[in-house]
Amino acid sequence: MEPFYKYHVFFCLNQRDADAPRPCCANCNAQAMQEHAKKRVKQLGLAGDGKVRINKAGCLERCELGPVVVVYPEGTWYTYVDESDIDEIVDSHLVNGKIVERLLIDQPASA
């Protein structure tokens, strides 16, 4: 069975209390990056059924590696710094199907 979306992308937008012992993605501009990705995907005509969906998520439990975004169906985990990183994920992975190795959280095992 084919997945409903070619790519389903989740941005962690979790916000922890200021005195929490763990970092949170919300403190790394995650909301703005999610909105940027959603806008960019729409501009490129990639949004919609059978295409790409950009979603907000609560805590994805990878806080120390964040901010984080995960792309399904592959389960590819990325981190990012700014809009140019998000653009690279959109252009490379979502448009061309090529993983952005430099932004991966889980680096592939070397041969």
Asked whether residue 94 is domain-assigned, the answer is: no
Note the pLDDT tens digit of each residue in 19-50: 766 778 888 899 999 999 999 999 999 999 99
96: phi then psi, degrees, rounded to nearest 5: -105, -5
Total number of domains constituting the chain: 1
Asked whether residue 98 is domain-assigned, the answer is: no
Q: What does pTM read for this prediction?
A: 0.90
Asked whether residue 93 is domain-assigned, the answer is: no
Structural domain span for residue 2: 1-82+103-111
**CATH code at position 21:** 3.40.30.10
**Region 82-86 average pLDDT:** 97
Q: Maximum CA pair distance of the chain?
A: 45
How would you classify the pairing of strands 68-72 and 76-79?
Answer: antiparallel
Task: Please give the Cα distance from 104 to 46 (Å, whole number).
Answer: 22
Asked whether residue 87 is domain-assigned, the answer is: no
